[in-house]
Amino acid sequence: MASSDSSHGGTQTASEYIQHHLQNLTYGQKADGSWGIAHGAQEASDMGFWAIHLDSMFWSILLGCIFCGLFWLGAKRATAGVPGAIQNFCELMVEFVDQSVRDTFHGENKLIGPLALTIAVWVFLMNLMDLIPVDWLPWAAANMGIEYMKVVPTTDVNVTLGMSLSVFALIIYYSLKVKGGKGFLAELTLQPFSSDNKFIKYAFVPVNLLLEGVGLIAKPISLALRLFGNLYAGELIFILIALLPFYLQWMLSVPWAIFHILVIVLQAFIFMMLTIVYLTMAHEHH
């Protein structure tokens, strides 16, 4: 949400304000060979591939712990009598995810249900951080001497790509486990174009491999970029609203926040459902 603070960091220009709020707290190796936290976007970029976004790591792990603690508490306080709020929430989520899995996945796999539940709740909690006013946590971090603080992990493409690559690894694993190496290779090379004539059939192998290979690789990329793009755009709009005069901030931020709740829920649901669909495809024989 937009900030109620109209100062925006005092002497910062609008451009500097936007760049500051979109910059991650990055730790890595500096140009002089020392390790430390980057002071600015260019220094963070120069740290290269092995740099770590500390804020994204902190908030994603913290929210993951909240998710685990919430469901542990719900299980511990579970009662056959009148359920409490936490138990109601946990049961609602479990039943919803279980029904989604049953409707889509028709094989037998004990991992799919817990994985789908984890994705749905964890991604939802990470997305939900976008509703916190954009200046509050960065301002609190600045008072503790922390220069940058992005609090929405799903606006970091490294986080969304990390989750999607984990799903992709499961897709490859179950494709090989269920279909075998020969079956998985045949799936990539003998469709969509085929023929009863062996010569024509094998002549299509390079074309099929290109098409199916692109489709396979596109799964984790589209999964990551869809979530990242929607949440990053939402965060950017909140930042732009925060640059407006105070009386306009609440006029625009409240309607956008209400609409953004739909985006937050929908993106968590889409990530969960696509994971179920992709793993269902990995279990199917053609």
Nearest partner of 21 among 130, 106, 178, 160, judged by Cα: 130
Catalytic residue among 109, 158, 194, 226: 226
Is residue 226 flagged as an active site residue? yes
Which one from 100, 208, 230, 253 is the annotated catalytic residue?
Answer: 230
Block residue for tokens 């929607």: 230
| C-beta of residue 276 within 8 angstroms of C-beta of residue 101 | yes
Q: How far apart are CA 116 and CA 105, in angstroms?
A: 11
18's tokens: 């936007």
Spatial distance between the Cα atoms of 100 and 94, rounded to a whole number of angstroms: 10
The yes-or-no answer on residue 222 being catalytic is yes
- Tokens, residue 188: 């990539």
Q: How far is the C-alpha of 31 from the C-alpha of 48, rounded, in Å?
A: 10
Question: Which of 4, 6, 195, 222 is flagged as catalytic?
Answer: 222
Residue 145 φ/ψ region, left for φ over 0, alpha for ψ in the -120 to 50 degree band, beta for the rest? left
- In terms of Cα–Cα distance, which of 38, 48, 97, 70 is closest to 276? 97
Distance CA 117, CA 68 (A): 11
**Alpha-carbon span 43 to 31, nearest angstrom:** 8
Tell whether the torsion through CA atoms of 67, 69, 72 and 76 is positive or negative: negative
- Residues annotated as part of the active site: 222, 226, 230
